């Protein structure tokens, strides 16, 4: 039976045979059917035109038999075709009605499932918030301050080890008690510093091959802006950080008491971190794990899962607002500083504070710490104070080993270069000072306009570029300290600035509630 004959009642002009079914078809009609369906018309088996065998026929076509050319025969043929069309139309209408019913039922089930998920999510969020604010049945006695000039809240070697406690059960006014900086921890810090120093010397001899050049950075311009990450009712993004191992992952902290984890590549919010009682002023993204650290004037530091937004630990080591946090290169310990004139060193895996330290220079009740940053080796770190002092500390000895005077106004930002030699600092005096840690002196000052405000400083991972965020966003070439590019795209002061991998892009946050990216 020919497909052509089945439709038109005529002999094929170009006949061909399907090896799948063995039927004869008009080649033109078979090509169209195979192109649309990819199967044989009679048995729906897979078929391609390469398989079809073309028949050689006599060009002289035999006429139709006389019985097929009479008017009654033609009328009967037309009636048969009409009946077949009507039956097909009726069958299609039945199938359409059935499909509509099935779709309606599926949509109803989907809507019901969405309502259940929304209700369960709301209940889970409420339960987590209730758990985070759960009050204990008994109070914890506050440790007494030591009268010496250097006050170190640490456990003596002969004292018993304090058992772990559930940090989420503390109320905001309670402070966890330090358990001591043990020899094992000190040895781990020393071993990591030795490895990092060796690796830095190797990297210093050769820069990354795909590091953005100075000419590339001069060509940077805004490529993306995301103004809707935080609430518009309390506008402002106050801090920013990128994941060192995947700089497409961004975390921002806002005045709306939340932090937002954002994916630059997909341009989607991964999760929103809710739990702080006050604005989020400091954020950190763990360099190798999906963990985010946030700090707030509510005197707490929270540790979150970046994927599901769950708060796993709350560190309550300070009595007043936490003003700075920095993660040690090991990834297991967190440095924090506060308006209570103390800095603290805590274990992020357990939430326990190992030591909490102050000094007469800052602990006289007049000046508080404003920022903190680890040196790349992790054995020393720097802090800034409200009275313009830059203080360098030895972590193992918990002592202040150097001070850098020269700024005026509260210190707003500090950043160590990856080369380990340079320290950049900024305060309320509209300038950025560069310090040589080998000679302990200021060797360069980048002076801005009198009304310029610096909020953030950062070196790229190679130590080749320095970015300044404040009244605008600027990038400087290290060693020459030449300004390469200034970005004025923000409509308010920039509060955070970070380089992407190999300085291929620059990210900045601002009080205008936007997160912006700059690149070629």
Placement of tokens 């001070």 in the chain: 403
Residue 1 has pLDDT above 50, yes or no: no
Q: What is the mean pLDDT of residues 378-389?
A: 91
Q: State residue 108's pLDDT score.
A: 92
Residue pLDDT, tens place only, 340-357 = 999 999 999 988 999 999
Residue 423 has pLDDT above 90, yes or no: yes
Q: State residue 77's pLDDT score.
A: 84
CA distances from residue 216 to 424, 474, 508, 520 in whole angstroms, order as listed:
23, 14, 18, 7
183-203+210-519: CATH architecture: 7 Propeller (2.130)
How far is residue 333's CA from residue 329's CA, in Å, rounded to a whole number? 8
Q: Which residues of 455-492 are buried (b: 16+ CB within 10 A; e: fewer)?
A: bbbbbbbbbbbbbbbbbbbbbbbbeeeeebbebebbee
The percentage of the chain sitting over the pLDDT mark of 90, rounded to a whole number, equals: 52
Neighbours of 516 (CB within 10 A): 22
For 486, list phi and psi in degrees, rounded to 5: -125, 135
Beta strands in 53-197 (DSSP E): 53-54, 150-153
Q: Where in the chain is the domain with CATH 3.30.40.10?
A: 3-62
Q: Is 439 exposed, middle or buried (0-12, 13-18, 19+ CB in 10 A)?
A: exposed
Q: What is the mean pLDDT of residues 177-203?
A: 84
Q: State residue 451's pLDDT score.
A: 87
Q: Nearest 5°: CA angle at 185, between 396 and 285?
A: 90
Residue 143 has pLDDT above 70, yes or no: no
Q: State residue 178's pLDDT score.
A: 79
Q: State residue 364's pLDDT score.
A: 57
Residue pLDDT, tens place only, 331-344 = 999 999 999 999 99
Q: What is the mean pLDDT of residues 373-377?
A: 92
3-62: CATH architecture: 2-Layer Sandwich (3.30)
Q: State residue 61's pLDDT score.
A: 57
Residue among 504, 515, 446 nearest 476 (CA)? 446
Any idea which of 120-129, 175-184, 440-449, 472-481 has the lowest mean pLDDT? 175-184
**Structural contact between residues 373 and 326, judged by C-beta atoms closer than 8 angstroms:** yes
How far is residue 22's CA from residue 137's CA, in Å, rounded to a whole number? 86
Q: State residue 276's pLDDT score.
A: 94
How far is residue 320's CA from residue 458's CA, in Å, rounded to a whole number? 26
- CB-based contacts of 448, cutoff 8 Å, min separation 6: 430, 431, 432, 454, 470, 471
Q: State residue 140's pLDDT score.
A: 37
Placement of tokens 């170190």 in the chain: 152
Q: What is the mean pLDDT of residues 266-284?
A: 93
Q: How confident is the model at residue 196 (pLDDT cuts 50, 70, 90)?
A: confident
Any idea which of 177-181, 315-319, 428-432 has the lowest mean pLDDT? 177-181
Q: State residue 419's pLDDT score.
A: 83
How far is residue 316's CA from residue 169's CA, in Å, rounded to a whole number? 10
Residue pLDDT, tens place only, 396-421 = 888 989 999 889 989 999 999 988 88
**pTM surpassing 0.75?**
no
Q: State residue 60's pLDDT score.
A: 59
Q: What is the mean pLDDT of residues 311-328?
A: 92
Pairing of strands 431-436, 291-295: unpaired
Residue 149 has pLDDT above 60, yes or no: no
Neighbours of 31 (CB within 10 A): 15
Placement of tokens 């043929």 in the chain: 77
Q: What is the mean pLDDT of residues 484-507?
A: 93
Residue 238 has pLDDT above 90, yes or no: yes
Q: Where in the chain is the domain with CATH 2.130.10.10?
A: 183-203+210-519
Q: State residue 25's pLDDT score.
A: 87
257: left (phi > 0), else alpha (psi -120 to 50), else beta?
left
**Structural contact between residues 425 and 383, judged by C-beta atoms closer than 8 angstroms:** no
Q: What is the DSSP letter of 340?
A: T
Residue 138 has pLDDT above 50, yes or no: no
Residue 158 has pLDDT above 60, yes or no: no
**Residues listed for the chain:** 520
Residue 515 has pLDDT above 70, yes or no: yes
Residue 4 has pLDDT above 80, yes or no: no
Residue pLDDT, tens place only, 284-304 = 999 999 999 999 999 999 999
CA distances from residue 74 to 2, 79, 84, 182 in whole angstroms, order as listed:
19, 9, 15, 104
Q: What is the mean pLDDT of residues 16-29?
A: 89
Q: What is the mean pLDDT of residues 234-238?
A: 87
Q: How confident is the model at residue 393 (pLDDT cuts 50, 70, 90)?
A: very high
Q: State residue 141's pLDDT score.
A: 38
Q: How remote is the C-alpha of 22 from its chain's centroid?
A: 61
Q: How confident is the model at residue 479 (pLDDT cuts 50, 70, 90)?
A: confident
**Structural contact between residues 336 and 369, judged by C-beta atoms closer than 8 angstroms:** no
Q: How confident is the model at residue 64 (pLDDT cuts 50, 70, 90)?
A: low
């Amino acid at each position: 039976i020919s497909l052509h004959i089945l439709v038109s009642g005529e002999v094929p002009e170009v006949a061909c045979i399907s090896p799948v079914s063995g039927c004869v078809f008009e080649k033109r009609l078979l090509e169209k059917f195979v192109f649309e369906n990819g199967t044989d018309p009679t048995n729906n088996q897979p078929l391609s035109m390469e398989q079809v065998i073309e028949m050689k026929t006599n060009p002289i076509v035999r006429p139709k038999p006389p019985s097929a050319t009479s008017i009654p025969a033609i009328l009967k043929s037309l009636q048969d075709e009409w009946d077949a069309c009507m039956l097909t139309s009726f069958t299609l209408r039945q199938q359409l009605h059935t499909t509509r019913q099935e779709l309606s039922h599926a949509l109803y089930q989907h809507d019901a499932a969405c309502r259940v998920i929304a209700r369960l999510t709301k209940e889970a969020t409420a339960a987590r918030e209730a758990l985070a604010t759960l009050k204990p049945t008994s109070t914890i006695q506050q440790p007494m301050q030591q009268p010496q000039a250097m006050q170190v809240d640490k456990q003596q070697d002969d004292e018993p080890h304090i058992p772990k406690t559930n940090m989420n059960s503390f109320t905001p006014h309670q402070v966890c008690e330090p358990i001591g900086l043990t020899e094992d921890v000190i040895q781990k810090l020393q071993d990591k510093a030795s490895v990092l120093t060796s690796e830095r010397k190797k990297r210093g001899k050769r820069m990354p091959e795909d590091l953005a050049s100075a000419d590339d950075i001069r060509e940077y311009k805004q490529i993306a802006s995301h103004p809707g990450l935080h609430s518009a009712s309390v506008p402002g993004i106050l801090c920013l950080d990128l994941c060192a191992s995947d700089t497409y992952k961004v975390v921002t902290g806002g005045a709306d008491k939340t932090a937002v984890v954002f994916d630059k590549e997909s341009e989607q919010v991964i999760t929103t971190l809710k739990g702080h009682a006050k604005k989020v002023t400091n954020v950190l993204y763990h360099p190798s794990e999906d963990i985010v650290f946030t700090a707030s004037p509510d005197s707490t530091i929270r540790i979150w899962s970046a994927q599901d937004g769950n708060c796993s630990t709350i560190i309550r080591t300070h009595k007043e607002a936490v003003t700075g946090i920095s993660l040690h290169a090991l990834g297991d310990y967190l440095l924090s500083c506060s308006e209570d004139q103390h800095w603290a060193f805590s274990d992020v895996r357990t939430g326990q504070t190992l030591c909490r330290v102050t000094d007469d220079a800052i602990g006289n009740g007049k000046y508080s710490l404003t920022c903190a940053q680890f040196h790349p080796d992790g054995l020393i770190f720097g802090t800034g104070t409200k009275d313009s002092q830059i203080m360098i500390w030895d972590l193992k000895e918990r002592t202040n080993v150097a001070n850098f005077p020269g700024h005026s106004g509260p210190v707003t930002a500090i950043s160590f270069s990856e080369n380990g030699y340079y320290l950049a600092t900024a305060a309320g005096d509209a300038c950025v000072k560069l310090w040589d840690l080998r000679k302990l002196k200021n060797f360069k000052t980048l002076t801005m306009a009198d009304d310029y405000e610096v909020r953030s400083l950062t070196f790229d991972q190679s130590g080749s570029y320095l970015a300044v965020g404040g009244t605008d966003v600027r990038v400087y070439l290290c060693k020459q300290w030449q300004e390469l590019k200034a970005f004025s795209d923000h409509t308010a002061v920039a509060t955070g600035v970070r380089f992407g991998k190999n300085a291929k892009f620059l990210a900045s946050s601002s009080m205008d509630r936007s997160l912006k990216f700059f690149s070629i």
